Amino acid sequence: MNRLFPSTSGAQGFAGVARMAVVVLVGAVVLAVASLLPESSPLHVSAFTVSLAGKYLSYAMLALAVDLVWGFAGILTLGHAAFFALGGYAMGMYLMREIGARGVYGNASLPDFMIFLSWTKLPWYWWGSGHFLWACLLVLAVPGVLAGVFGWLAFRSRVSGVYLSIMTQALTYALMLAFFQNGFGFGGNNGLTDFKDILGADLHSPVTRAVLLVITGVVLALALMLSRFVVAGRFGNLLVAVRDAESRTRFLGYRPEQVKLLIWVFSAMLAGVGGALYVTQVGIINPGEFAPANSIESVIWVAVGGRGTLSGAVLGAVLVNMGKTVFTAWLPEFWLYGLGLLFLVTTLFLPKGLWGCLNPPPVRRQKTSRPRFPARKEMRHECAKTSGNA
C-alpha cells in the first residue's frame, strides 16, 4: 500500500490524507447501504451500528481539530470538547424546535423544559433556532467567536504551554457548570433530547440515519482535505515555526499570536461541526459533553493515532472509541485504566502513534551522509583564482 502511494512530505503527505479521506467516505457509504438492506440479508447492519459509526466519525472531527492545534501549532488544548459541545447545542436547539407541538406538553413554540420551568416565551438567544440555516451558522459561529475571544486574549498575553492548557480546562469546566444551570436556558442537566426530525425527515428512520452517516463521512473527508490544505503549504511551515521557535518568528516580522489565533478558530469551528453531526445521530446533547475528561480523552485519541498527521487523529478517534464501546460493555469499571495504559504504551513505544508506525516518513539523505560545510571547500572566487594554476 505504501509503495503504491508513497507519501510526499512526511506523515501528513497528500496521498496519506487523501487515502484516509477515501477510507472514511467508502466506510460511511458501505455501512449506510448495508443498513438499508433487508434484515434477512447477511450483510445487513443494525441501526445501532450506524449510529455508533456516526458517533465515531463525529469524534474523529474533534480529534482532527485537536491535531491541528496540538500537532501543528503546539497548543496542547485540554478543552476542545467545549467547542464540540457548543456546536452540538447549536444544532440541538434547532432539533428541539423541530419537535414543535409533539412534545410532552404539546406546546408548538416552547421546548418542554422551558414549560417545565414555567417560562412563557423563548429567551432571546433562541431567536432563529427554528431555522436550519441559522443553526448551521451558529454551529460555526458560536465556537468560532468563543475561540476567537479566548485565543485573542490568551495569545496576545503570550500565555502558552501548560498555563494555556489549564486555561482551556477551566474554560470547558466553566461552560459545563453554566450549562448545568436550569436557568441558563439549555435544558439543565438533561440537556437537549427527544428529537423527532431534521428538515422534516424522521430521525428514527433508517434512511435518514443512513443519509446522516454519509453526510458525516463526506464532511469529515472534506475537513481532512481542508486541514491538509491549511498545514501543507507555507502557512503550515509558519505554524511549525511558531510551534518550535515562536520568538524567532517575531524577529522575522510575523505575529505569532495572529497565526495561532487563525488555526485556533478554524480548529474550534471544525470541532463545532463535529458536535453538530454528533447530536443528530446520537440524539442527545447534555452538559456532560463539557466534562474536562472528554477533552483529555480527545487528546489521547490524537496521541494514539499519531500527533501531527491528520489521518492519525481520525484513526485514533475511531479505534479508541471502538475499543471503548467493546471494553465498557465487557469490563466497564476498567475502561479508564485501559485508556490510561493505552496512553502510556503509545507515549513510550509509539511516539509517532499508529499512523506514524504505518507510514514511516521517507528516509532523509542526511541520515546516511552528513553534509560537509561548503565553506570548508575553497571559496568560489579563490577557486576561480587558482584554477589556472591547477
Report the interface residues with other proteins, using CB under 8 A. Answer: 230, 233-235, 237-238, 240-241, 244-245, 247-255, 258-259, 261-262, 364-367, 370-376, 379-380
Torsion sign (Cα): 314, 319, 322, 323: negative
Of 278, 89, 265, nearest to 191 (Cα)? 89
CA distance 95 to 130: 8
Helix H, strand E, coil C: the string for 325-354 is HHHHHHCHHHHHHHHHHHHHHHHHHCCCHH
Is the Cβ of residue 140 or residue 276 nearer to other proteins in the bound state?
140
Q: Give Cβ neighbours of residue 248 (< 8 Å, ≥ 6 apart).
A: 241
Least Cβ distance, residue 379 to other proteins (angstroms) = 6
Work out how close the CB of 281 gets to other proteins at its nearest, in angstroms, rounded to a whole number.
32
- Cα–Cα distance, 330 to 321 (Å, whole number): 14
Of the candidates 272, 276, 286, 277, the residue with the CA atom closest to the CA atom of residue 194:
286
CB closer to other proteins out of 74 and 187: 74
Nearest-approach distance from CB 226 to other proteins, in angstroms: 11
Other C-beta atoms within 10 Å of 337: how many? 11
Cβ proximity to other proteins: between 174 and 245 the closer is 245
Nearest approach in angstroms of CB 237 to other proteins is 5
Distance CA 108, CA 133 (A): 20
Smallest separation, CB 44 to other proteins (Å):
45
Residue pair 216/62 in contact (Cβ under 8 Å)? The answer is no
Q: Decide whether 140 or 320 has the Cβ nearer to other proteins.
A: 140
Instruction: Return the number of other C-beta atoms located less than 10 Å from residue 197's C-beta.
Output: 16
- Minimum distance from residue 303 beta carbon to other proteins (Å): 18
Burial class (CB in 10 A: 0-12, 13-18, 19+), 127: exposed
Nearer to other proteins (CB atom), residue 173 or residue 235: 235
Q: Which lies closer to other proteins via its Cβ, residue 338 or residue 361?
A: 361
Please name the residue ranges forming H helices in the chain: 14-36, 47-67, 80-99, 112-116, 132-156, 161-180, 206-232, 234-244, 246-251, 256-282, 292-305, 311-330, 335-349, 353-358, 365-368, 380-386
CB of 378 to other proteins, least distance (A): 9
CB of 161 to other proteins, least distance (A): 18
Least distance (Å) from other proteins to the CB of residue 15?
18
Task: Name residue, grid cell 506523515.
Answer: 11
Of 121 and 370, CB closest to other proteins: 370
Instruction: Decide whether 229 or 337 has the Cβ nearer to other proteins.
Output: 229
Place of cell 500500500: 1
For other proteins, the closer CB: 16 or 92: 16
- Considering only CA atoms, which of 120, 121, 109, 63 is closest in space to residue 296? 63
